[in-house]
Homo-oligomer: A and B are copies of this chain.
Amino acid sequence: MQIAIVLFEHCTALDAVGPYEVLSRVPDATVHMTGAGRTVVRTDTGRLGLQVDTTYAEIPEPDIVVVPGGFGQRVHREGSELHEWLLEADRRTTWTTSVCTGSLVLASAGLLAGRRATSHWLARADLAEYGALPSDERVVVDGKYVTAAGVSAGMDMALTLVARACGVELAQTIQLGIEYDPQPPYETGSPDRVPGWAVELLTSARSLFV
């Protein structure tokens, strides 16, 4: 099984690395960190470089594609090399997936038209501009398209994907391997359950994510 995790300049690190940590533990799967060129790209907060090992042209037929978000996705929504590769690759994938605002890349390619999908909470409504049906679930599976909510949701998405693609027992074993028994210190991971000031602050900083 060939898995392509896309990297581009100013992607969000955890959008890519959360799924990586899960998917790179699937036996008989090979994960390729794939991008426009074999170089180091800087993540959106600027202080980490991730190595692109393979170019899009080198991975023409991945079984699974993962597209991360981050404000860097803005330049990939149309006419980009990523868009072109994605449209071609999607013809043969078994699963086409995204984390956070990566779903805007899929949607703007027309891949989510008429499908339920999610994104970072700050960007979820934008999916409708491309004909997708925004959902507030954390992981949305519609046919072979699997989209995750913001940033940290990529781990929940990847485990869901492993269960579907390889069986529940493998997903459960990987979850134990990475000790994914989350205990966030606060209940503030969703805009429904936080003080208004936090939502307002982040809405004013929307361009950091979308």
Interface residues of A (CB under 8 A from B): 12-14, 17-18, 20-21, 24-25, 30-33, 40, 43, 45-51, 53, 100, 120-121, 138-139, 149-153, 155-156, 159-160, 163, 168-169, 171-173, 175-186, 188-191, 194-195, 198-199, 201-202, 205, 208-209
Contacts of A168 in B (CB 8 A): 186
The reply to whether B121 and A179 contact each other, CB–CB distance below 8 Å, is yes
Complex contact A33–B49 (CB within 8 A)? yes
Q: Tell me how far the C-beta of A163 lies from the nearest C-beta in chain B, rounded to whole angstroms.
A: 6
Copies of this chain in the oligomer? 2
Q: Chain B contacts of A202 at CB under 8 A?
A: 173, 176-177
How far apart are A143's CB and chain B's nearest CB, in angstroms? 19
Seed contacts A14-B18, A24-B46, A33-B49; 9 additional CB < 8 Å A-B pairs:
A24-B43, A25-B45, A149-B179, A155-B184, A159-B184, A175-B188, A176-B198, A181-B189, A182-B182
